[in-house]
Structure 1
């Protein structure tokens, strides 16, 4: 029986920590890092090290944006951190930034991910940033990213058993 949880919130709100707490009693979680390797960035390296130090040694790790096969396969619970980086890296991989009219390719990936999320037999917790509450960005690429992020979060949330919102380290249920 699956249990799908989406944890939303702003940057540095405690989303990842909340996700880790939800799965803390499970010894064999597969931590799915979607951020990639930001080689040469000491700030990124420090963030990764902080996340790694909090995880139990028994948890596995995979670094990928290819989430559909993971959601489609049987296995231990997944902690996906995070959907915001998944979207950014997916847009990078499809070279959307240089041709915004190709956004349909990303929408196809969002649809496939949402379908895999809604049908997975695994327990899964995903973290994602809520970026739609601010001002409308002036840049067309940033507007597209914000719009696609809203579509992704909405689709995953509606296909979830529970959605939570984290602010200042506190997590609230969304109904």
Structure 2
């Protein structure tokens, strides 16, 4: 009996060997299978050819497996334990495709030597929605299984505003713990210099911060238009996948002030321009996705 990274191999009948405390199996041809049980993510194990995992229990665990090298480009990932936690087979298939995984019928024979073709994610995704529409949760879902993600927070931290601080805390607790967080209003630079996929949440708070920074609510708005132009150029040239959340402002009450109306129009125009440069654009309403 020998081992890899602290997990001993145990010889089994038929030339098979187990590892990862019995959750891993190596076949006579050297192919490795790993079952990832709920509540546990074995990371200190060798690269595997086939991984079976309850992804609905936490797709971010797949990101950790990729980060650790357990799941590579040729690893087949099959979801197990699928149930009513997802409302339909179509929604399940959509989510698994986002995560680079699939579900198969019982009794399916899987050839580990012939992995299914990889589908590259959209490079630029814009998700629109109203307040409490589920747009941020959808954005997090898009990148949940990535090994490295930078969450770009463009809003205030909530000092002195308990309600806003609670919102920020809820977002922080919901997203995977291994994601990096970048708090900045220099959004164009963050996009240009990204080395990992980005999740930007969101464009509305970014634009409000830009209005504040340049005193544009009542004053000169030319600097705001320049910042928007700069962001659109960076978005167009983004080298890493980017998912951005923005408010759909065109269906609400008309703001009572001239500054508010200018902000609404500016965000609507920015959404339109970024959508024109995006491979994937969708509206989120009551947690449901409407591709545009």
Larger displacement relative to structure 2 (130-139 or 32-41)? 130-139
Cα deviation per residue 1:68-116 (whole Å; 9 max; x = unaligned)? Answer: 11111240000000000000000000011231xx112111111110010
Match for 1:85 among 201, 205, 211?
Answer: 205
What CA distance in whole angstroms lies between the structure 2 residues aligned with 1:44 and 1:36? 8
What CA distance in whole angstroms lies between the structure 2 residues aligned with 1:141 and 1:168? 29
Higher relative contact order (CA 8 A, sep 6+): 1
Select the structure that is richer in helix. 1
TM superposition outliers: structure 1 runs of 4+ over 4 Å = none
Secondary structure class of the residue paired with 1:128: strand
Larger displacement relative to structure 2 (28-37 or 77-86)? 28-37
Is the 1:13–1:168 Cα contact (8 Å) retained in structure 2?
yes
Confirm or deny that 1:36 pairs with 2:125. Answer: no
What is the aligned partner in structure 2 of residue 158 from structure 1? 276
What CA distance in whole angstroms lies between the structure 2 residues aligned with 1:134 and 1:49? 27
Confirm or deny that 1:143 pairs with 2:257. Answer: no
Confirm or deny that 1:133 pairs with 2:251. Answer: yes
Cα deviation per residue 1:45-73 (whole Å; 9 max; x = unaligned)? Answer: 11011101111111000111111111112
Runs of 5+ consecutive residues of structure 1 not aligned to the other structure: none
Confirm or deny that 1:59 pairs with 2:190. Answer: no
Q: State the 1:132 CA deviation.
A: 1.3
RMSD value, Cα: 1.3
Greater Rg by CA: 2
Larger displacement relative to structure 2 (78-87 or 46-55)? 46-55
**CA, structure 1 residues 137+33, in 2 after alignment: closer, same or farther (shift >3 Å)?**
same
What CA distance in whole angstroms lies between the structure 2 residues aligned with 1:104 and 1:69? 19
What CA distance in whole angstroms lies between the structure 2 residues aligned with 1:156 and 1:78? 15
Runs of 5+ consecutive residues of structure 2 not aligned to the other structure: 1-119
TM-score by length of structure 1 reads 0.94
Is the 2:201–2:244 Cα contact (8 Å) retained in structure 1?
yes
What CA distance in whole angstroms lies between the structure 2 residues aligned with 1:68 and 1:41? 28
What is the aligned partner in structure 1 of residue 230 from structure 2? 112
Name the count of aligned residue pairs. 172
Secondary structure class of the residue paired with 2:251: coil
TM-score by length of structure 2 reads 0.57
